[in-house]
Amino acid sequence: MTIRVLLADDQTLVRAAFAMLVESARDMEVVGEAATGREAVELARRFRPDLVVMDIRMPELDGIEATRLIAADEALTEVRVLVLTTYDTDENIVEALRAGASGFLVKDTRPAEMLDAIRTVAAGESLLSPGPTSRLIAQLLRSPSGVGSVTVSGGPESLSEREREVLTLVGRGLNNAEIAEVLGLSPLTAKTHVSRIMGKLGARDRAQLVIVAYESGMVTPGGV
């Protein structure tokens, strides 16, 4: 299947470079380009891409708010957002994850890694760098002025013991194959557990599960 990608960045040359890269992959196509956050939301609603590559800093509507609007739109539940940032220590990353982004990527990432990131997020996985992400989440949870908690409909207490184990590993940044290896499960079983956890907690994707794991104390920065 072809991965349909929407590119959102206010710099024309950056969008052009990303478009050339995406179109160079046989399994991807660019369905639209947006220069503002507002335009990104409008094009997402029009084209319903599989994934939006979203710059955080854009005019009219920043990438975080644009991500929040896309994630809140019931008609766009299958649309994933991969946010772009200049630095992996940018605290806006966590705010974007809370808003509904499925992961983040720094702009100086190598081309092949960016294509792999698009495939990863489009396949339903989260793309998180455990080290920087854990530091950012810990920092924001300690700060009274930090971003509010991610909104979910349930808590870890509603999970079985095995599901809590899986959630802890998700919080540490492990993918399904790695979780399966640690717990002695098949990758399919690990994936099923993750899906059930998202259903019980009402989480949009794995990125939100990471934040829940930290906020509940199941994962601590030193434990990653």
Q: Please tell me the CATH code under which domain 140-223 is placed.
A: 1.10.10.10
Mean pLDDT of 155-177: 86
Task: Kindly list the strands in the beta sheet with 28-34, ordered across the sheet, starting from the edge strand earlier in the chain.
Answer: 28-34, 3-8, 51-55, 80-85, 103-106
Q: Do 205 and 104 contact (CB within 8 A), yes or no?
A: no
Q: Rounded to an integer, what distance in angstroms lies between the CA atom of residue 5 and that of residue 32?
A: 7
List where CATH 3.40.50.2300 sits in the chain. 3-127
CATH architecture entry for 3-127: 3-Layer(aba) Sandwich (3.40)
Span 104-109, average pLDDT? 82
8 A C-beta contact, residue 56 and residue 38: no
pLDDT at 144 over 50: no
- pLDDT digits 0-9 by tens, 32-61: 999 999 999 999 999 999 999 999 989 889
Tokens 């982004």 belong to which residue?
101
Say what the pTM is: 0.72
